[in-house]
Structure 1
Amino acid sequence: MFPISSRAGGTFVSRAALTAALALGLAGGMVATAAPALAKEAKDAKAEGPKLSKAFITLAGPLQNDMAKAKDQASAAALKDKVLAALAAAQTVDDKFFAGNFAIQIGQTGKDSGLMKTGLETVIGSGKLTGPELGKYNYYLGGMAFDAKDYAGARTAFSNAVAAGYVENDVQALLAETYFATNELPKGLEVLGAAITARKAAGSVPPKEWYIRGLSVAYKAKTYEQAFGFGAGLVEAYPSTDNWADAIGLARTAGRFQAQETLDLMRLMDATGSYRDTSDYAEYLQAADARRAPAEVLKILDEGVKSGKLSPSDVFVNENKTIAQARLAADKASLPPLEKDALLPTASTATVMAAGDAFLSYDQWAKAEGFYQTALGKPGVDADRALTRLGIAQFEQGKFADAQATFGKVNGVRKPIAQLWAIFAGQKAKGG
């Protein structure tokens, strides 16, 4: 079972609040550095044409001096009326830009979120900023709206930030959160998925939390195919035994596979060493069937006991061990005649596939590969099953590029199984 409760990522709300607060501190600092510029604007107004209106300069000059002395909440709050007057007097682009920054600084120092919001809106509306810098102010505004649970306002601001080219501080994921917060889950998942795609296209690795959040939301919404998509992306970007267990668990939940599909998925769990508990081993053993693949069953039983996840005294373990041991000698003895029959030009598709399956279960990868290749040229073959197992045989021989190509041809119900095998083959090809 997929332990969703341990993987749920929560939301990005706390991150939004913290980041916005810190960033606004930097924004407030812009006002102090703007003071000389304000004086220069007034000095050069006649030479270059007015950028600051006289009415605004009359108010802004003294206000700047007062602001420099406002170091605590009380002294900042005392300047609110003057800041509001400056905002009201602002007429030009530069008037509004400076007035807005005054409001941000005094609002922050005075802990007046309303004034800070007005300041941000004024700077944005001034038209002074473009590109990512404009996006940054929209991000700040979105963070404040999000913290106030104004999700529609946050959505607009975050959308504007992204449109302006701002990509810092998980802004795309926060945009998705505005949809999650209003229970618009499909749209939120779409936005988050697009953010992941864009980040990858830009040559960066999306944050782990993005995948986990999408996985969590989709799983709880019971859209298991979407959850699997995020899980596959997670294990591709951040391979670990936990993430492999999650991705494989999601594939099992989304796929509702029959025994033969489950067997190939559990073979991947074995290859990645991502068993979580006894139930994983039990599912593998049931899919393999001690009567059909005794050698493979005995191998998995031995691994499970050594790992401590299977108890040698367990009834289920003993039953499987007894059946497999009783079948092993006869099963081994059947291999040579089966191989001989399968090599005949007139061999049926079923015979050739049976030979491939038999040798695969005995870890004789090269022979298995040959039989699956032959089977794919036979009429009536289950191509997706043959391709999946051909890819496994190639993978186990270290033919990782070949395996990736083979897995890429699998369609139908087996496609997610092959997708995960292909991811693992790609990681192995890179030395992972």
Structure 2
Amino acid sequence: MARKYLISRVALALALSGGMATAALPAMAAAKEKEKAPKIAFSKEFAAAAGDLDKVVGAAPQNAAVTAASEKLRTAQTPEAKAAAAAEVDAALGGAKAKLAAASTVATTPGDKIKLGELTRNVGVLLADPAMQHSGLVTMLQSGALLPENTGQVQYLAGITAYQTGDYAGATNYLKQAKDGGYADKDGLIDRVLADAYKRTGNTGAALALAQQEIAAARAAGTKPTDTAIRTALQAAYDAKQTSAAIDLAIELAKDYPNAKSWTSSISVVRALSGLQGQDNLDLMRLMARTNSMNDKRDYLEYLQNADPRRLPGETLKVIDAGIAAGKLTSADVAEYRQIASSRLAADKASLASLERDARSGSASAATATGAADAFLSYDEPAKAEELYKAALTKPGVDKDRALTRLGIAQVDQGKIADAQQTFAQVGGTRTVIARLWSAYAESKASGATAQ
């Protein structure tokens, strides 16, 4: 019988959502395999029981009946249709499952067992049966005849098929063995599947450590970690309730991948873990708006609540119009906000001149100066806002961290990136994380990155 240790294709791939797709693994080099492989002995009984099946399975790609039934199985939509198509595949293979069962009763030598495992795995692929594939791969690993250089790949496939069948403990066992042995698949799926399997078995700490190792290795090599690696680590940190690590990773994601999707994830994590309220959260919502990362009605309504149409009517109306234009809000959703903001808009705009005059007077309080600065920032006049925040910072009793945060925002809005970075670096307290995110945004603007 021809000896094949590995198959060239396997259904496996992990999306971050947990779904599976199809990916190919490279076929083993047959010539090299033949040169290295020691002589394998098959028992007479096993050779008689499995010889014909080995030929049929080897010829399956050229067997029209098998390929037609396999295609039917691939496209079947209901359990009944899948079962019927699988039965057609089995029949086209000459009753493969029954022949495997018969061969298993006489498999006694290491050669018998590795061939039995290979055939079981092959038939499992043709039948789209991950449990059968897994059984065959485990038989190969336990046969005692698997070449050392092939062990990692078989362990990897055993881990993948365990994952596909919902055996997450088995998946972590085999995938960790493969990884510890130095195996690395070309698509990097081993780390993603292993991390998710750890998560599903409740071992969130191991999932986080694994993802952090991948990030650290990329940094050490002078390359940027993949978006997937950072997201995997971020999710693991979030699941493990490691707030500090999760926030650090959220900022890392935004810095390395400053697009709308990343900003949505990063800011959402910070909102969820930091417990920011009111005026603090308002500046996060402003960052979401500037990064085009406001995803749903909740985002817009939260922004409106924080802005308050009585305090910032112009900004409130701008958010309402943006939400309706984006299809995230309806007029009914925001009718009260619009009514309040619209009724106050004219008077609020008319008061800007007097607000500025009062704020610039030598006797102005910190509250007067910051109030005027807030008004100009909300009306997209960052130059005046910058001057007034600077004035406020010289006043006793100023909320220094809030004023510094918004001074940095005003500077970013003017394109004064270096100044903004210096300003954000001075922010402390609960607003530190807000400033770090804004600093990452400023950095992305300096590099020319845009939110897509």
TM over 0.5, shorter chain: yes
> What is the alpha-carbon distance in structure 2 between the residues aligned to residue 206 and residue 224 of structure 1?
22
> What is the alpha-carbon distance in structure 1 between the residues aligned to residue 361 and residue 370 of structure 2?
13
Residue ranges of structure 1 left out of the alignment (5+ in a row): 1-7, 39-51, 89-98
CA deviation string 1:283-324 (max 9, x = no partner): 333323344444434544554565563539823311121023
What is the letter of the counterpart of residue 121 of structure 2?
Q
State which of 119, 133, 141 in structure 2 corresponds to 1:106.
119
Gap change, CA 1:134 and 1:412, over 3 Å in 2: farther
State which of 18, 21, 29 in structure 2 corresponds to 1:11.
18
What is the letter of the counterpart of residue 362 of structure 2?
D
**Which residue of structure 1 lines up, in the alignment, with residue 444 of structure 2?**
427
CA deviation string 1:3-35 (max 9, x = no partner): xxxxx95426x35xx55xx54x83xx4567523
Contact 1:369 1:390 in 2 (8 A): yes
CA deviation string 1:318-371 (max 9, x = no partner): 1121023233312332212312337xxxx6555554454344334332343344
Q: CA deviation at 1:218?
A: 3.9
Q: In structure 1, the residue corresponding to 2:351 is in which secondary structure?
A: helix
Gap change, CA 1:357 and 1:210, over 3 Å in 2: closer
**Which residue of structure 2 lines up, in the alignment, with residue 337 of structure 1?**
358
Q: Does 1:70 align with 2:87?
A: no
CA deviation string 1:348-403 (max 9, x = no partner): 55555445434433433234334444555666543322331122112111123443
State which of 366, 369, 374 in structure 1 corresponds to 2:383.
366
Q: Does 1:311 align with 2:331?
A: yes
Matches within 5 A, 1:206-285: 206-208=226-228, 211=231, 215=235, 218=238, 232=251, 235-285=254-304
> What is the alpha-carbon distance in structure 1 between the residues aligned to residue 422 and residue 107 of structure 2?
65
**Identical-residue share of aligned pairs (%):** 32
State which of 407, 413, 416 in structure 2 corresponds to 1:399.
416
Matches within 5 A, 1:20-419: 22-23=24-25, 26=27, 29-30=28-29, 34-38=33-37, 52=38, 59=42, 70-72=55-57, 77=100, 84-87=108-111, 100=114, 102=115, 105-111=118-124, 113=133, 114-121=135-142, 128-129=148-149, 135-168=152-185, 169-199=188-218, 202=221, 203-208=223-228, 211=231, 215=235, 218=238, 232=251, 235-304=254-323, 309=329, 311=331, 314-341=335-362, 349-350=366-367, 352-373=369-390, 376=393, 381-419=398-436
Q: Which moved more, 1:309-318 or 1:414-423?
A: 309-318
Contact 2:207 2:233 in 1 (8 A): no
> What is the alpha-carbon distance in structure 2 between the residues aligned to residue 223 and residue 233 of structure 1?
15
Contact 2:300 2:323 in 1 (8 A): yes
CA deviation string 1:221-248 (max 9, x = no partner): 8877776666555555555445534443
> What is the alpha-carbon distance in structure 1 between the residues aligned to residue 441 and residue 362 of structure 2?
34
Gap change, CA 1:209 and 1:10, over 3 Å in 2: farther
Q: Please identify which structure carries the higher helix content.
A: 1
Q: CA deviation at 1:178?
A: 2.2
Gap change, CA 1:86 and 1:286, over 3 Å in 2: closer
Contact 1:297 1:324 in 2 (8 A): no
> What is the alpha-carbon distance in structure 1 between the residues aligned to residue 424 and residue 151 of structure 2?
45
| Count of aligned residue pairs for this structure pair | 380
Gap change, CA 1:136 and 1:292, over 3 Å in 2: same
What is the letter of the counterpart of residue 422 of structure 1?
S
Q: Which moved more, 1:405-414 or 1:201-210?
A: 201-210
CA deviation string 1:169-196 (max 9, x = no partner): 4212222222222233454344445445
> What is the alpha-carbon distance in structure 2 between the residues aligned to residue 36 and residue 124 of structure 1?
15
Contact 1:391 1:404 in 2 (8 A): yes
Contact 1:244 1:269 in 2 (8 A): yes
TM-score (norm 2): 0.66
> What is the alpha-carbon distance in structure 2 between the residues aligned to residue 147 and residue 276 of structure 1?
32
Contact 2:310 2:340 in 1 (8 A): no
